[in-house]
Structure 1
């Protein structure tokens, strides 16, 4: 016969289950929004997460709250990747490590900007202050860390700012949003990366 669990154990299990359900919902929403945009079916998101609609609405009472959670999750992932790349580049003996790390992160940021245009636009229409300035600052700080390391290692121009980089890459995302050429975004990013390098470091 199984011994009854005390209230503390039950509460702990419920909190763990709730956290896992929330994580599954955010991941399912990421996938659904990537495929269908911000109007993706909430019932479909719940189905993908393996929970009922009631569980979804307990965690995210409105569509705006779910949009916000997905965007914050993607931004946190992007910024965590910047830290990882910086640490690896700083520890590497290869002189161009920071340059390569900057290129890799900007490609990740470009993918982020292209995927999240619709989500961000929908969120700003529904609730302009939902994300606030902090999320923008997080991305700006990540870009600053990547660029500063490349500048210190002497591979990137010193007259380029983190804001310049974000504007340029965001411009690529916007200008290629409706294009059919899947290689164009990366080609344009390559031009930006070449312009950011010091003249004696360009390909």
Structure 2
């Protein structure tokens, strides 16, 4: 290896690390901006929040659709990781469920879900892989709580995600400011209703994620 190669390799590694950090900042900024402004948020605003130039944004994401797709993948990956961590770190089965629900709410799923729906192409292997990972992790939490007799037996992952999505969605015209205090209150009410033994019989059958996908078609 020449002296020039020795200099070039660290420089290349630094450039790749800088590019990765810029990409992560853009995705994080886009997530926040989508929640605040909706799907038509100017990409200039995303670049400003990320602290990068427009050229840098377009170098990583050629169009709005690719950026929104990456936001969807990022949200699913973090949601799955939160479920996996809760299952591993919480010794009490219902405590794991409780922790996951409140942490999933922090991902602003309710506000983002309507805007990200077009990014969920089931033929996209990356999207399918993250969706499967997320479903597997959440199912593991529910299964453990049900086996321990702490969670009512007539719900499935689809029921849980519908509730989280609906309860974290801001009311029309209210924006997101100060909304968390209402979200946390109603998530707690919802979780109390999941405890076993159940006080009522639910109509219909437990909903899976496949049921939710079918309902969109």
TM-score of the aligned structures, taking structure 1 as reference length: 0.76
Pairing 1:1-203 to 2, within 5 Å after superposition: 6-89=7-90, 92=91, 97-111=92-106, 112-121=108-117, 124=118, 129=121, 132-173=127-168, 177-178=171-172, 182=179, 185-199=183-197
Alpha-carbon distance in 2 for matches of 1:172, 1:47: 30
When residues 171 and 18 of structure 1 are mapped into structure 2, their CA distance, relative to the original with a 3 A threshold, is closer
Alpha-carbon distance in 1 for matches of 2:189, 2:25: 38
Answer yes or no: is the 8 Å Cα contact 2:152–2:198 preserved in 1. Answer: no
Q: CA deviation at 1:81?
A: 1.2
Unaligned runs of 5+ in 2: 200-217
**Cα-to-partner distance string for 1:154-193 (whole Å, 9 max, x where unaligned):** 311233322332234334456x643759455445433432
When residues 171 and 82 of structure 1 are mapped into structure 2, their CA distance, relative to the original with a 3 A threshold, is same
**Cα-to-partner distance string for 1:88-142 (whole Å, 9 max, x where unaligned):** 11xx3xxxx2212202212333453213134314xx1xx5626743343333222
Alpha-carbon distance in 1 for matches of 2:111, 2:198: 34
Q: CA deviation at 1:79?
A: 1.2
Count of matched residue pairs: 188
Alpha-carbon distance in 1 for matches of 2:130, 2:172: 26
Q: CA deviation at 1:65?
A: 0.9
**Cα-to-partner distance string for 1:49-102 (whole Å, 9 max, x where unaligned):** 22211111010001111111122112211111111111111xx3xxxx221220
In proportion to residue count, which structure has more helix? 1
TM-score of the aligned structures, taking structure 2 as reference length: 0.72
Question: What is the RMSD of the two structures over their aligned residues, measured on CA atoms?
Answer: 2.9
